[in-house]
Amino acid sequence: MKLRFLLFLVLLLPATCVAGVEDLFDIKPIADGVYAAIAKPAYKLNCNAAIIILGDGVLVVDTHSKPSAARALIEQIKKLTPKPVKFVVNTHFHWDHYQGNEAYPSSWPAGVEIISSEATRENIERIGIPRIKNEIVTMPQEIANLKKDLEKASSAEQKSAIQGNIRQAEAYFAELKLMQVTLPTMTFDRSLILRRGGRTVEILWLGRAHTDGDVFVFLPNEKVIVTGDALHGWTPFMGDSYPYDWIQTLDAAEKLDFNSVLGGHGDVMHGKLRFELWKSYFRDLMDRTAAVYAEGATLDEARKTVSDFLTKKYADKFDPNFPKSVTANVTKAYEVISFPR
Ligand SMILES: [Zn+2]
């Protein structure tokens, strides 16, 4: 009787929660055996992943901000195919794209190759690891700030949203302290091409962009490109970027023949319009910042005037965070252009 009742309860569980693991991703087919895993919103964001089924295994692009998120995706992959994941690609070294790496070799100990550009592997070692250590030191303050926000919250809705964030922040912090940073096991300079079971997967470094190590994953037969954060559905983050190179790298990527585009964040895109938008945005950002700098504008003045101009021209074409992100982008542009004093 008791067992029956338990079974009944299990059947009542929503489809999004099987075996206690919540679906963190919406899986969308892009081509035959190729899927986009679109990350659902989270307090500590996850990036999207691409799931590419090969003849004898699976290739996954990017591993999110934590091993538990990668493990949640692995559960979703197992519903698509019984084949093991044999290859993981890290598009670049940012936390939300590689910190889940350890989940793959621990799920398939027989062997998973983690592939990245040589620059990305070096960046994880030199910059990624100190950033994780820094976050371990600073997270308690972040959680304390959330708790202060909770005290100030007035509506029940606000309170429950902040409580949800506190739960996620505490879980992330616990995971961060135990994280085994897992570096790429296979690196390359320009391109690495896998041919498996009739599928061709081109992993391409086309120049510096969002970082110096970004790679694109291109499926020439299916006309699909996975772009990491070199191009996505939100506003570009430019902190570690090379803005002038980025325009040229997008030009190079755009020359490939594809219809579907999966970026590191946001929904699946189609065609090349988003490439044109980002290039135009970067050109305006750099040209306008250079022009006001030439007239003697301070950083604060540039942030004001260039942000206003870009917000008027582009805000409706990007995500709602655009006005905030654009100010950081102007700061980056000003740093690139100005002579340091
Ligand atoms: Zn990202």
DSSP per position, 77-95 = HHHH-SSPEEEEE-SSS-H
> Do residues 203 and 194 make contact, with C-beta atoms less than 8 angstroms apart?
yes
pTM: 0.92
Model pLDDT for residues 272-324, shown as the tens digit of each residue: 999 999 999 999 999 999 999 999 999 999 999 999 999 999 999 999 999 98
CATH code for residues 10-121+182-271: 3.60.15.10
Residue 93 Cα to ligand 1 middle (Å): 9
pLDDT at position 23, please?
Answer: 84
The burial class, CB within 10 Å (0-12 / 13-18 / 19+), for 329 is buried
Q: Report which of residues 128 and 197 the model is more confident about.
A: 128
At 66 the three-state DSSP class reads coil
Q: Closest Cα partner for 180 from 87, 114, 116?
A: 114
Q: Report residue 158 as tokens.
A: 């606000």
Give the pLDDT score at 76. 96
**How much distance in Å is there from the Cα of 89 to the middle of ligand 1?**
14
DSSP state of 125: I
Please tell me the predicted confidence (pLDDT) of residue 16.
41
Q: Is the pLDDT of residue 71 over 90?
A: yes
Q: How far is the CA of 96 from the centre of ligand 1 (A)?
A: 5
Mean pLDDT to the nearest integer, 152-172: 95
E-assigned strand segments in the chain: 17-18, 21-22, 25-31, 34-39, 49-53, 58-61, 85-89, 113-117, 186-188, 191-196, 199-204, 216-219, 224-228, 260-263, 269-270
Residues 6+ apart with CB under 8 A from 310: 281, 284, 285, 288, 326, 329, 330
pLDDT of residue 207: 98
Give 70's contacts (C-beta < 8 A, 6+ positions apart): 63, 64, 100, 101, 102, 103, 104
| DSSP tag of 325 | H
| Average pLDDT estimate for 55-82 | 96
Rounded to the nearest whole angstrom, what is the distance from the C-alpha of residue 92 to the centroid of ligand 1? 9
Identify any residues that bridge with 201 across adjacent strands, giving them in sequence order: 194
pLDDT, tens digit (0-9, with 9 covering 90-100), for 201-213: 999 999 999 999 9
The pLDDT mean for the chain works out to 93
Confidence of residue 21 (pLDDT cuts 50, 70, 90): low
Ligand 1 center to residue 213 CA distance, Å?
13
Q: Render pLDDT for 96-127 as a digit per residue (tens, 0 to 9).
A: 999 999 999 999 998 899 999 999 999 999 99
Q: C-alpha dihedral over 193, 194, 200, 203, to 10 degrees? A: -40
CA of 328 to the centre of ligand 1 (A): 16
As a whole-number percent, the residues of the chain with pLDDT over 70 amount to 93
Is the pLDDT reported for residue 3 higher than 70? no
> What is the pLDDT, as a whole number, of residue 196?
92
Tokens 């304390």, residue located: 144
Gap from CA of 229 to ligand 1 centroid (Å): 5
User: 340 CA distance to ligand 1 centroid (A)?
Assistant: 29
> Rounded to the nearest whole angstrom, what is the distance from the C-alpha of residue 226 to the centroid of ligand 1?
13
pLDDT tens, residue by residue, 232-251: 999 999 999 999 999 999 99
Neighbouring residues of the ion ligand 1, judged by CB less than 5 Å:
47, 96, 229, 264
Residues 294, 295, 298: CA angle, nearest 5 degrees? 90
Q: Which residues pair with 39 in a beta bridge?
A: 25
Q: Would you state the pLDDT for residue 340?
A: 76
User: Domain map of the chain by residue range?
Assistant: 10-121+182-271, 131-178, 277-337
3-state secondary structure at position 162: helix
Residue 4: per-residue pLDDT: 44
DSSP 26: E
CA distance to 33, 49, 183, 200, 239, per residue, from 209 (Å): 29, 19, 21, 24, 11
Q: What is the 241 CA–ligand 1 centroid distance (Å)?
A: 13
pLDDT for 9 beyond 90: no
Q: How far is the CA of 341 from the centre of ligand 1 (A)?
A: 32
Average pLDDT over residues 78-96: 97
Sheet holding 260-263, edge to edge: 191-196, 199-204, 216-219, 224-228, 260-263, 269-270
